[in-house]
Amino acid sequence: MSRIEAVIFDVGQVLHAYDPKPIHQDIIDTLEITKVVLRKPDPEIYELVLNKLQISANKGLFIDDRDDNIEAAKNLGIYGHLFVNAELLKTDLQERFEIHV
């Protein structure tokens, strides 16, 4: 199991990243994607986020509700979760990454 350093997801037009450690479940960075010409699933948007967070791809988990966006992230080595509902996300975070929410 890899240690995840950032969970990346979007809400509206803002990408958020938070530290998944149980003590520090705080937003660690945001990226307003309206100010960036790139759009998911363009691989460059994921690389931009990784560079901004200063983490390697295998230390990130990307959550999205579109399979093509998840596949693009996974092709770069980022872990992906296709969001269906909160309960499945919670189970996946606990089982794959030992992240308890």
- Write 64-71 long-range contacts (CB < 8 A, 24+): 64/9, 64/10, 64/40, 66/40, 66/41, 68/41, 69/40, 69/41, 71/41
pLDDT digits (tens, 9 = 90+) for 44-64: 988 988 888 888 999 888 989
- Looking at every residue in the chain, the average pLDDT score rounds to 79
Between 33 and 60, the more confident residue is 60
Q: Is the pLDDT of residue 15 over 70?
A: no
Mean pLDDT over residues 16-30, rounded?
56
What is the average per-residue pLDDT within 69-95?
92
Domain 6-97 has CATH 3.40.50.1000: yes
